[in-house]
Amino acid sequence: MLKTYIEEVPEAALKFLETATKPTTIIYNNPRLVAPNLVVQDNTLAIRIIHEGFAHDLIELFQKPIVSTSANISGDASPKSFKEIHKDILKDVDYVVNLQNEKTNTQSSTIIKLNKEGNVEVLRP
């Protein structure tokens, strides 16, 4: 599915994903077939590959990726539970799923960016 939206997935990205031990988001260059408002001004798109849980099951059911945002306001700490999500976020989204029984990942994801040459730059370890 990744190759549908990213024409050339660099080998470095695939290797990074294979060895990742925690959730990982990769910022790819030159995305295609996505809504223009998802693409940043420098023509990049952040994509997280997930392998389990509710979001994974939803993607499998739809057979399409889903768009989401972090559950925190930029600069604020990430919430550890549903009740910690700021009320402004809850009122401004299309839909909220409260997964009280889902295993909570309290670890922030690694964020990496691929430069034009395909090299990896770690933005958040």
With cut-offs at 50, 70 and 90, classify the pLDDT of residue 122. confident
Question: If you average pLDDT over each of 14-23, 83-92, 98-107, which comes out highest?
Answer: 83-92
Mean pLDDT score of the chain: 83
Q: Is residue 102 part of a domain?
A: no
- Lowest-confidence region among 44-48, 50-54, 101-105, 115-119: 101-105
Q: Is residue 89 part of a domain?
A: no
Euclidean distance between the first and the last CA atom of the chain, given in angstroms as a whole number = 25
Q: Give the Cα separation of 21 and 51 in Å (integer).
A: 12
CATH label of the domain that carries residue 11: 3.30.110
Residue span of the structural domain in which 62 resides:
2-70+108-124
Q: Give the Cα separation of 22 and 109 in Å (integer).
A: 7
Q: Is residue 61 part of a domain?
A: yes
Q: Is residue 112 part of a domain?
A: yes
CA atoms in the 13 A half-sphere facing the CB of 95:
5
Report pLDDT digits (tens) over 58-80. 999 999 998 887 777 777 887 87
Q: Which residues are CB-neighbours of 106 under 8 A, at least 6 positions away?
A: 80
> Into how many domains does the chain fold?
1
Q: Is residue 13 part of a domain?
A: yes
Q: Is residue 93 part of a domain?
A: no
Which pTM does this prediction carry? 0.78
Neighbour-count burial of 26, counting CB atoms closer than 10 A to its CB (0-12 exposed, 13-18 middle, 19+ buried): buried
Q: Is residue 79 part of a domain?
A: no
Q: Give the Cα separation of 52 and 55 in Å (integer).
A: 7
Q: Is residue 114 part of a domain?
A: yes
pLDDT-above-70 percentage for the chain: 93
Q: Give the Cα separation of 13 and 35 in Å (integer).
A: 23
| Alpha-helical segments (H) within the chain | 2-5, 11-19, 54-62, 87-91
Q: Give the Cα separation of 90 and 57 in Å (integer).
A: 22
